[in-house]
Amino acid sequence: MPKTSAAAKSVSQKFEGLLVFGDPHLEGRQPNFRKDDYPNVIFKKIEFCLDYCRKHKLQPVCLGDLFERPRDNPNWIIGQLIEMTRQSPVLGVFGNHDCAQPQLNDDDSLSVLVKSGGYQLVSSSDFWTGEINGRRLVVAGSSYRHPIPKSFDIRLVPKSGHADRMANQKPPLVIWLTHHDIDFKEYDNGRCAAHEIENVDVLINGHIHRRLDPIVLGKTTWINPGNITRRSRSESNQAHVPKALHVKVSDQGLKFEDVVIPHQPFDAVFHEAIVATEQEQGESAFVSGLKELTHRKTDSGAGLNEFLKENLHQFESDVANQILDLAKEITQEDIANYA
């Protein structure tokens, strides 16, 4: 629904700061080559974040992609999220995985959580604000595909406190959440150049699952903490430590601290890759791929996807496309975009 005026969600609850976590990608089945009890493992990560917030008096914040699939999620997953967030509503943006269309709509699972009050979407006009340790904090954001602004109008932020304090009140601290392909160094798919955002202290981005070095541009720092869920068996994931970001707010400004999310070692989470023997390598990629396929019965057909990626090039393109369409129908994965 279009908003005609800025609306700030102001809270009276006593907070000391925020805990920001990225891209949980909840789903009911086992993704890719994961071999653990995926949905319950991800729920434990979210529960850890909410518990940490209760202990340290923090507002939980999600950077989007709460769901892996926008729709058709099992009822028990949505019900459990509603229960978990009843006492601790989460602030956040929506990611590309949360919406089937470019915009979040009523058919998407995240909308149910928004309507239950468990997930409060922030935008440039609907921002959250509260007073923490004598300093006003604003959390606003740009969901997936929404533009990242060049400035934020702090005149929209309600003033608070005693009249005699108002005159020399410091400007609010402003945090901007995004879910974008930002042009961080060492990220090849960057499409949005980072820039200073007037009146914004820190931009925190989801979407890019790796942790990347922050960029400082003028008064704005761009941070990419990486996700709390390891999705693929990639090399970067082998080194990735799932972490959330503890944002401490004081009269002096913002401070950041990593919070490691308890997690199993990489080898306990993912099926080991099947390495073909020398003899098999001599035979063909087809044979070694078949070996992986027959050893790994993954829910998502990850073995089949890998196998096709390796072998489809040997077929005429119309044959390859038909095989891809069939595989997509069976696995419900878009293999062309498989990563």
Q: Least distance (Å) from Mn ion to the CB of residue 228?
A: 11
- Which of 184, 307 has the CB closer to Mn ion? 184
Tokens coding 81: 């999220």
Q: With beta carbons less than 8 A apart as the criterion, state whether 101 and 113 touch.
A: no
Q: Could you say which DSSP state residue 251 is in?
A: T
Q: How far from chain centre, in Å, is Cα 337?
A: 18
Minimum distance, C-beta of residue 69 to Mn ion, in the bound complex (Å): 12
Distance CA 262, CA 61 (A): 18
Residue window 37-56: x/- pattern of binding to Mn ion, with contact defined by CB under 5 A: --------------------
CB of 329 to Mn ion, least distance (A): 24
Of the pair 53, 66, the CB lying nearest Mn ion is at 66
Torsion of CA 299, 304, 310, 316, to 10 degrees: -140
Residues making up the chain, counted from first to last: 339
Q: Phi first, then psi: what are they for 169, rounded to 5°?
A: -70, 140
CB of 96 to Mn ion, least distance (A): 7
Map residues 117-146 to x or -, x wherever contact with Mn ion holds by CB under 5 A. ------------------------------
62 vs 138, beta carbon nearer Mn ion: 62
Count of residues near Mn ion by CB under 5 A: 2
HSE, side-chain direction, 13 A CA sphere, residue 335: 25
d(CA 19, CA 313): 46
Query: Residue 128 CB, nearest distance to Mn ion (Å)?
Result: 22
Closest CA to 12 of 174, 201, 160, 155: 160
Nearer of residues 31 and 289 to Mn ion, judged by Cβ: 31
* Under 8 Å between Cβ of 45 and 24: yes
Told to check if 65 binds Mn ion by CB under 5 A, we report: yes
Q: Is 306 among the residues that bind Mn ion (CB under 5 A)?
A: no
Q: Which stretch binds Mn ion (CB under 5 A): 30-38, 57-65, 106-114, 262-270?
A: 57-65
Only segment of 19-27, 32-40, 217-225, 314-322 that touches Mn ion (CB under 5 A): 19-27
- Of 230, 222, 181, residue with least CA distance to 24: 230
- As measured in angstroms, the least distance from the Cβ of 286 to Mn ion is 32
- Which C-beta is closer to Mn ion: that of 23 or that of 131? 23
Q: How far is the CB of 4 from Mn ion (least distance, A)?
A: 32
Q: Which is nearer to Mn ion, 29 or 248 (CB)?
A: 29
Q: Which residue has the tokens 């070692």?
A: 265
What tokens does 196 get?
Answer: 């200073």
Shorter beta-carbon distance to Mn ion: residue 66 or 157: 66
- Identity at 297, one-letter amino acid code: K
Q: Considering the complex, what minimum distance in angstroms separates the CB of residue 97 from Mn ion?
A: 6
Question: Interface mask (CB under 5 A) for Mn ion, residues 20-39, using x and -?
Answer: ---x----------------
Structure tokens at 293: 């396929």
Residue 227: how many other CB atoms lie within 10 Å:
27
Q: Tokens 């890759």 sit at which residue?
A: 273
Cβ closer to Mn ion: 232 or 311? 232
Residue closest to Mn ion, measured at CB: 65
Cβ at position 65, least distance to Mn ion in Å: 4
Integer Cα distance of 158 and 176 in angstroms: 17
C-beta of residue 95 within 8 angstroms of C-beta of residue 125: no
Q: Which stretch binds Mn ion (CB under 5 A): 15-23, 27-35, 113-121, 160-168?
A: 15-23
Site residues for Mn ion per CB under 5 A: 23, 65
